Amino acid sequence: MEPANCRVIRLGVTKLLSLSALRAAKRVRAQWRQHPPAIVQAYFLDSSYFAVALARRSGVPHVLRVRNNLGYWLTRKHRLLNRLMRPWVDLSLTNSETGRESLIRQDGLSPDRVMMIENGVDLDRFGDATPTFSGTVRVGCVANLRPIKNIDGLMRAARLVVERFPNVVFEVAGEGEERSKLEALKQELNLGERFVFRGRVDDVPQFLRSIDMAVLPSHSESLSNAILEYMAAGRAIVATDVGANAKLIQHGREGVIVLPGNDQMLADGIGTLLQNPASARGMARLARARVAAGYSRDAMRTKFEELYLRLANRPR
């Protein structure tokens, strides 16, 4: 998975306030002195806490950080650290207009220091097979098993759906902290074999090819990689109206959009597509065409390349 022309240095840091982190910082600073970078880009919070100040102390001309969520889980400590880090960051990147607005409104960033670059998906991995909606109809979801993903809400909606559609099975690909709680809820709802936890799935394209409909029931998203993958796989889609979902999926055209946190609406949305398989297949084709036209991996890479070249060519 690692590119041949890009050296990867594994630091082995598991805790920021530790001797291993201090040794890693010295190692990285020595590397940057020997091979001075024009740009340092930090992903995720811990990477930002580690790299931003270190890059500034090392004389790196341009420091970027990425936050591709809406900050729903940030604690007071995180918000304080973000404020302290703010003067050292030249540009904050996010993947949706909702994420950009969150950084400006909640984090107090200047609009000219926030940039949106939308995610892209590798279309070649997914193919373009059309869902059949014949025999056993499979409704799938790709998600970490965390509260924000609302898998419990999907399960309650599934309980309503299976009462109306005897040939429907729900499958969730993903693992997480809520697994035992959700297994208990499955028993409580008496879903049995109608709701299956697949655990970690390494081949997501194959999983998506095995289902007819894909659901994104989240309480919060920025621009969801899962929904881009659903579109790339040409699946019929039901998603909650959070983040960029309603921008990616025009309700009634590329899929069905429902209010977040409403189990009945989620069940009704799923039921609408199950009752109208021809319409669902048409939406799936349009979703595939939309992601191919505007959200390819090549399009995302080009935007990053243009940003890096523009920054690198600025006078230091």
Residue predicted with more confidence, 229 or 13: 229
51 membership: H or E segment, kind and range: helix 45-57
Answer for the pair 207, 125: CB distance below 8 angstroms, yes or no.
no
What is the rounded distance in angstroms from the CA atom of residue 80 to the CA atom of residue 304? 29
pLDDT tens for 244-262 read 999 999 999 999 999 999 9
- DSSP percent split of the chain into helix, strand, coil, nearest 5: 50, 15, 35
How confident is the model at residue 3, as a pLDDT? 73
How confident is the model at residue 1, as a pLDDT? 57
How confident is the model at residue 316, as a pLDDT? 60
Q: What is the CATH number of domain 37-120+297-312?
A: 3.40.50.2000
What is the rounded distance in angstroms from the CA atom of residue 247 to the CA atom of residue 298? 20
Domain locations in the chain? 37-120+297-312, 123-294
| Domain 123-294 = CATH 3.30.420.10 | no
State the residue for tokens 């790339």: 232
Q: Which of 17-31, 61-75, 185-199 is predicted with the least confidence, judged by mean pLDDT?
A: 61-75
What is the rounded distance in angstroms from the CA atom of residue 270 to the CA atom of residue 214? 9
Q: What angle do CA 161, 273, 129 make, to 5 degrees?
A: 120
Q: What single letter denotes the amino acid at residue 244?
A: A
How confident is the model at residue 77, as a pLDDT? 84
How confident is the model at residue 79, as a pLDDT? 83
Q: How confident is the model at residue 195 (pLDDT cuts 50, 70, 90)?
A: very high
